[in-house]
Each structure stands twice: as structure tokens, then as C-alpha cells.
Structure 1
Amino acid sequence: MKTYNNKIAILGLALATLIACDDEEKVVDEILAQVGTGAVLRTIDEDNNLVYNFDTNEFEDGSSYTIDLEEQDEESGDLLESVEVYVNFDDNSDDGTDISTTEVLLQTLTASEFTDGERGLPVATVSYTADELIAATGIDETMIVGKDRFEFRLVLSLTNGEVYTNSDVGGPVSGGAYFSAPFEYFPVIACSITDDLSGTHSYVTTINTTAPGQEPPGDNVPIGCSQGTIVAGNVTWTQIAGGEGSPISGEYSSSDMSFGQFESCYPGRGPATGEDVTIIWDCISLNPDGEVYLKDSVVVPNDDNDDTDFTYGYEITSVVGPVMTIDFSNSLGDTGSVVLTREGGEDWPAIFLGNN
């Protein structure tokens, strides 16, 4: 396939010289007039409504993906011949089974399937249901895990023989505010979750690293633990946002982001918690967000611009029934592993099994 990446590269260079123009649409017109050749497929709108339900192991009713496109060339759309849409599935889970696929041709739109848009240029909407995407890629719907994605690639063919695709664009042409013409799209599959992780859960924590960076400047805090120290206790999670009807699965405050490690290793500092640190449940992941603050060697609830802050990271490594294992670390250098048992012995949501 013969492509013309140098011509779209020239479009990007020309764009840089016209960046101060007030009218976005005139910028596109002026650049094409200067270059004299080339074409773009602008993204007018994109709607990702692909939502997977882990309770039923299938997409929610109405799940779909839609792109509104506008074609522009040196002849104001008269050179448009066709647009091919390719799709593949990208498996982003670490469950040991990779169901990623190679791309296949999903649809070919001819020029006659475009209509005149508001600017007198050819426009078209491509929309695919989850069922259509499953059929095209041949994946097993029950094997999908949240954060997997479909990948789309467009190929624009002109009547003069020129062909353009994602490998022919870059910089301001592919993602800039003026063109927004990447020729490729990566809609991530969202999760439908109605469960609530709130509760007082029991933990057994093993200290792996005795915090080489635990002391803020000027502090002299004794270390009360060593590698291999085991700490047991309870942590309380309380949902403060998200859940059913929300774009995120859930956001939770935690009585101790370190599962007993921080307070045990540094007596008198208190548990690693505060008003500005939470845990965000994002499909198969639990992601700490925000900072814990230290002032005068003691954890304080919020930032007063005269303290030391640090952050946490979690990686779920195993989930079996009511037992979840998480490797954790913080930006001071503490590391550990916790075996967390859900309150009442209730199984953790099946969505987390994608970490096994």
C-alpha cells in the first residue's frame, strides 16, 4: 500500500506557522491550501459506551462504540473514495491467558455513505455494538477483563491513488486541537460494578523493606520493625464516592493505607491515613490516590504547607475467595505484603480474579 506520510508531515509543519489563527476551521483550510495535497479524517466526536458486567460475564445491554468523522482534502472532500475500518482486541490482563487478536477489516465506507456536514465537507458516523465487535474479532466474551480494549485503525483512500493511515500522521495533525486526526482509536472497556468494598477487614502484613527513606530532614525516629516483621490487625474502608451509577467503581477512605506497617515501624507516628488520601477501585485494580502528611514526626490529617507528604502504590497479586494479597509500597521506601481477609468472610468481587 502506497502512503503519503511526507505530505501529512508537511501539514503538521504548516500548522505550527498558523497556530495563532482564531478560527480552527480556517486553519485547516489554509494549511491544505498551502500544501496543495493531502487529506485528513478529523474526529468530530467519540462516544465509548463499552461496559462489561463481571457478574454476568457479558457486556451490558446497549454497549457500543461510536466515532463521528469528517474528511477533508484539497478538493473539499471531492477526492474521497473510501474509508476502511480495521479492529483488533487487546488483552491487558495478567491472568496468564492472552486473547489478543490481529486486526481484521470491520467495514468499508464508500464516498456515497458520507453526507455533507455543516462545513460542506463529507461526514459519517461509524458505530458498532459490543456484539458486532465480539463477532468481528472472534474473542470469547467470558474471558474479557476490565481495562481490556478494542483498537481501531482507519485507512483513507482518495480517487487520485493516495492512501493515508495512522503511520502517516503525528504531532498536531494526529492529536492537536485543530486536526484531531489520529486514524486510530483505543476505547477501553469499562466495568459495571454495584458491589461495595466498605467494611472492617482483617490483615496480616509482612514487612519487606524497613524504609530506607523513612526520616524527613531533621527527624530522628526509631525504627520498630525489620525485614520479615509480621503485623496483624484491622483496617476500615468506607465508600465516599462512586459505585452504582457512577463512572468509577468506587472511592474509599482507609483507616490505614499501610495495613499496620507504618505505625508499627515508627512508634508514635500513627497510622498512614488522612483527609487527602483515598483508594480508588478501578475495575480489577485498587489505586491509592492522594498524599499522607507528616508534621513533627506525626501523621496529620491534611496539608498545611509545612509538612512532608508521601504516597502509596498497591498491586493485587492474588485473590482467592475472601482473601486478597496486595504488595504495597510508599514513596518513602517502605514496602510490604498484606493478606487481607474481607469482613465476615465474604468473597471479594469476582472482578478481582483478573489479577490471578
Structure 2
Amino acid sequence: MSPTMEKGGIVSWKYKVGEPFNTGDVILEVETDKSQIDVEALDDGKLAKILKDEGAKDVNVGEPIAYIADVDDDLAAVKLPQEQNTEKPKSSRNEAPSPEKDEVTKQQHKEPALTEAKRTKGEQANSEQTFLPSVSLLLAENGISKQKALKEIMPSGSNGRLLKGDVLAYLGKIPPDSVTKITEFIKKNEHLDLSNIEPIQLKPEESEQAQRKVTNKMEITPVQFEEQLMFHAPASVPFEKLRESLNSFMKEAYQFTHETPLTDTNSKYFDPIFEDLVTLNPREPRFIFSYDLIRIPKANNMQDIYEQEDIFDLLTSSDASVSQGKSVKKDLLPEKSEFLLTLNVSVNNKKFNDAEDKAERFIDYVKELQSF
């Protein structure tokens, strides 16, 4: 129904008195000034008494139209509340008001008066708020406009928000003090009171032990890689020049390993900008390395070994070659020097999940020297 609706009519009842219905069943059909609406049951039950028959017009919003009992209730034993006569009785002008009527009138104005007295002590309701559905329905059922509610009902919600309890207290259906007590309890417990908590003073020994445990947990053993590589270079190349060239090669491998992503750059899903964004500190080094280069000296008997006669050479050679007593000429031996490269790589930062992979890629890059 519309929140501005004040009166309506009963089109038809879908159930008779005593007939049970289930949750969601249409109990009756009502009409407003704009449309006809089906009213569904909110719970299982049955009609105990119908107060407004079909065709009733100008029924005020909030006025009882029927009584509902539980499915298992005996209607003969159920005590129904006395029907309130909402129509003004016709009386003569000279008829004096009865004491009972005056008492009822005082009782009706008693609770709003108390509520208005407390209203002056509360905060102003937020005029820009949107009422909750429960609040809007309750106001509509009792014929209270939004302007009147904002002006007369004291809010208990945050930032001047009206709650259902505020409306019920205004209507006198619950004690106003209950809303005040709940609001005070919530505000009191919004913040945790730590004033009565005293910090524990650790003894020096306990403090050192606790600090040692924390330090041990924080220390992470770095991952170590060690590789020994053998490669050859012409004997005419000076050792210092070879070392300088090797140093440049190491720097190039280090830079290449850090800058090149681990993912497939040829994939259509690869995006360098995205990879740079999702990689944690892409400019921070993942490992450190050190190396040592030494020249392997030739064996003293190397020349003798090459100059010894071989059985296969003797069997396949001519007489002239055998008479010479040598199978390999000294001037035919290749003049190359052999070097040993010891490489140490330490992954010194375990907070990067790609550190070990990049370190292994660096080692594989350096291993290409073995092909020479």
C-alpha cells in the first residue's frame, strides 16, 4: 500500500471464519484510491472473526478488520478483544459527555504527552533520512506523516535516524524508557574500555628471551647455489683481459636475469605494464653473486702423453711414420688454455617468490661459457 494512504476498502475475503490458511496465501483483497491489492498471510493461521465484511468502504488505515488465530486454536475457547467502535456515535448537542469517555480521552493523550516531554531532551531527527521499510509501514498504519514523525518523534539511531522502537514508544506501545536504556547501552559499549588493563612488566631475562625468539623467527637462511664451470680460451689472450671480459659478461647476465620476465613474452596474454604492476618491487635485486677465475696449469707429462706411440697408429701407419717414433707432431697440438670458474649465488631476500627462479636462470646463462 502507499505510505500516504489513509483509507481503503474491502473487496473480498478469500477465506471464511475457521478456514485455515498457509503462509503466503492471499487472505483478502483490498482497494485503494489507485488500485486493488492482494493481502498475503505472514504466517499460518485461520480467521477467528471478520470485523469488516466485503464491500466495506472508508476503512481507516490501522483499524482492525479481522482477528486471526493459530491453526490449532479452538475458536470457541478463544477470547477475542472487544471490538472498538471507530464511528462517532450520534448524540444530541445537549448530551453531557460521560465520565468514561473523558477517561478514555485522557488515556489516549497521556502517552503522547509523555513522549513529547522526552522529545525536547533528544536530538533533532535527520530531515534528509530515508525511513526503513519497518518504520514507513508503522507510520502508515497509524496515519503519521513523515513531517510529523520528524518533528515529534525522538530518534535513537545514529545521526538522527528514526527506528521502529522510536515509533512504538511514541505510540505508547512500548515504554519510552526501554528505547532510552537500549540507546544508552549501545553508546556506552561502542568503545572498548581499556583503562583497567595494566601492561605486564617483563623481567630483563624474560625480555631478552622473547627478543631472541623473535629474532630467530625473523632470520631466514639464504639459499646458496655453487657451480664450477670449465671453459677454454686461446692461450694468446692475456689473463687480465679475459677477467675484464668475464666481468662484463657477468654484469650483462645479472641485468638480463632481473629485467626479463619469467612468463612467456611471446604469449598473447603477456603485457609488460601489467607484469610490472603485479611484480613486487621489480627493481629490487633478487640475489647476489661472486665468482673466482683460475687458470688450470698444464700437466708436466702432457707433452709426453701426446708424443707416445699409439697401437692403432702403429697398425695403420706406414713404415716411414713408424720409424719416426711419434704419432702426433708437437706443432699440430692446439694452443688453448683451460680455466675453472667457481660461481656462488646467494638468494638473500626470501620475500620475493621469483628470487630462486631468477637465480637459477642466471646460473644457466653463465653455463653457456662451457660451450667454448
TM-score (structure 1 length as normaliser): 0.19
Q: Which one has a bigger Cα radius of gyration? A: 2
TM-score (structure 2 length as normaliser): 0.19
